[in-house]
Amino acid sequence: MVTRLMNWFDDRLPLTATIERHLTKYPAPINMNIWYLAGVLLVVVLVIQLASGIWLLMNYEPTAEGAFASIQYIMRDVEYGYIIRYMHTTGASAFFALIYLHMFRGMMYGSYQKPRELLWVLGWITYVLLCALGFTGYVLPWGQMSFWAAQVIMSLFGSIPYIGEDLLTWIRGDYLISGITLNRLFAFHVVLLPLALIAVVFVHILALHEVGSNNPDGVDVKKYKDEDGVPLDTKPFFPYDVMHDLYAIGVFLIFFVTIMFFYPDGGGYVIEYVNYEAADNLKTPEHIVPSWYYTPFYAMLRAVTFPLFGLSAKFLGFVVMAAGIAIFVALPWLDRSPVKSIKYKGVYSKFFLALFVVSFFVLGYLGTVTSTPGRTIAAQIFTVTYFAYFFLMPIYSKYEKCKPVPERVQLG
């Protein structure tokens, strides 16, 4: 009966073939480690965000007059509305925490190298889309931080020479951040960006399944195959990976719901306290801080305090901040190393990757605190070391001495 039903489908749609290719028989390297869980957890968070987002939408009012009150309505009057909202805010932070781990995994094991350049580029696009989703979503509650974050970020476009002011008015649709601006950010957040994100994630996974997963040793598992053409150093996705992924999802959800139930503000990092006040365009909060996941780039923005080449400090800060996000996409072409994994790369690659991680965290911290002259200098130094990882890579990755890479994956 089931076989006949499947045959009926298979005559009309490549159903069994698709399931086998992308799920049950997908060959996953046997030496994948804990870092490889971030990807599947990102898919879980995507589903959480879509579900909670759609439910929030049922009670949210996208107007300057009603937005803030509708959030309070969701929190107080809608049954379990507060859980749905906290699910969405916790999900936003989880999304970024996981994508940073996922990206770092790729950087450690050289997962962006040939033939996975396009896979990396697609992943980078999902990161940029996520940044846009985070920003647009942050504005929707129309609290003080929503309003002033929008003011600060949008005014960056006003710093572009010649066209800036007109462009800014065009983006805002008004002479100030207003309900008109809120409405267009709302349209982006709930329709355009999620559609784009789902489409790019889909293509990202298609591309992954075309080139196959990398692994901690960075060796090509397709080199040695058994008589059926199945790579020797792989195991089928079902049941092996599905089982440990389910276990990982369980552990992840324990952390997730702990934050969601007991620490929904995350100490002011998941939800900033200033945002409990309704937007007021005549009153600037004492201290404007972006969400934690943007703070490294915010620190870079503030680090540029001097004009150069006839361009204003503000515009240059904008360029440096954008470059900090954009530079990731160039990694496949910056890395000239003959080996993929950090395990076999030379000492310089290890040093610069460590330096990058330190810079990212220090900048992340500096972005959360008020600027003082000393902190500005620190931000300038760590902005330079952040970019050093990328810009010096063609040199240090080419000339350093690497360890020999084994033919087959190493276990244990």
When asked if residue 282 is in the footprint of another protein (CB under 8 A), the reply is: yes
Cα distances (Å, whole numbers) of residue 216 to 28, 35, 248: 12, 9, 19
- Of the pair 204, 302, the CB lying nearest another protein is at 302
- Of the pair 73, 365, the CB lying nearest another protein is at 365
Q: Which stretch binds another protein (CB under 8 A): 77-85, 166-174, 247-255, 346-354?
A: 166-174
When asked if residue 313 is in the footprint of another protein (CB under 8 A), the reply is: yes
- Using CB under 8 A, pick the residue from 128, 288, 381, 392 that binds another protein: 288
Q: Position of tokens 């591309």?
A: 207
Q: Position of tokens 């915010």?
A: 298
- The tokens for 78 are 């809608």
Q: What residues numbered 337-376 form the site for another protein, per CB under 8 A? A: 370-371
Report d(CA 104, CA 264) in Å as an integer.
26
H-helix or E-strand spanning residue 39: helix 37-57
Report d(CA 58, CA 77) in Å as an integer.
13
CB 29 within 8 A of CB 218: no
- Using CB under 8 A, pick the residue from 59, 63, 305, 380 that binds another protein: 305
What amino acid is encoded at 318 in this protein? F
- Minimal distance, residue 105 CB to another protein, in Å: 34
What amino acid is encoded at 201 in this protein? V
Residue whose C-alpha is closest to residue 107's, from 376, 363, 397, 381: 397
- Minimal distance, residue 92 CB to another protein, in Å: 23
When asked if residue 183 is in the footprint of another protein (CB under 8 A), the reply is: no
When asked if residue 173 is in the footprint of another protein (CB under 8 A), the reply is: yes
- The tokens for 313 are 């400090």
- Of the pair 123, 367, the CB lying nearest another protein is at 367
When asked if residue 147 is in the footprint of another protein (CB under 8 A), the reply is: no
- Using CB under 8 A, pick the residue from 178, 368, 380, 385 that binds another protein: 178
When asked if residue 148 is in the footprint of another protein (CB under 8 A), the reply is: yes
- Minimal distance, residue 170 CB to another protein, in Å: 5
- Of the pair 59, 169, the CB lying nearest another protein is at 169
Q: Which stretch binds another protein (CB under 8 A): 75-83, 94-102, 148-156, 320-328?
A: 148-156
- Minimal distance, residue 177 CB to another protein, in Å: 8
End-to-end CA distance of the chain: 45
362-366 long-range contacts (CB < 8 A, ≥24 apart) are 363/295, 363/296, 363/297, 363/299, 363/300, 364/292, 364/295, 364/296, 364/299, 365/295, 366/295, 366/299
What amino acid is encoded at 109 in this protein? Y
- Minimal distance, residue 282 CB to another protein, in Å: 5
What amino acid is encoded at 291 in this protein? S
- Using CB under 8 A, pick the residue from 47, 58, 176, 308 that binds another protein: 176
- Minimal distance, residue 329 CB to another protein, in Å: 26
When asked if residue 151 is in the footprint of another protein (CB under 8 A), the reply is: yes
Q: Which stretch binds another protein (CB under 8 A): 36-44, 98-106, 312-320, 404-412?
A: 312-320
- Using CB under 8 A, pick the residue from 16, 47, 65, 174 that binds another protein: 174
Alpha-helical regions (H) of 140-272: 144-157, 164-172, 179-187, 193-211, 242-262
CB 349 within 8 A of CB 342: yes
When asked if residue 175 is in the footprint of another protein (CB under 8 A), the reply is: yes
Q: Please state the φ and ψ torsions of residue 353, each to the nearest 5 degrees.
A: -65, -40
Residues that bind another protein (CB under 8 A): 148, 151-152, 155-156, 169-178, 180, 184, 281-284, 286-288, 302, 305, 307, 312-314, 370-371
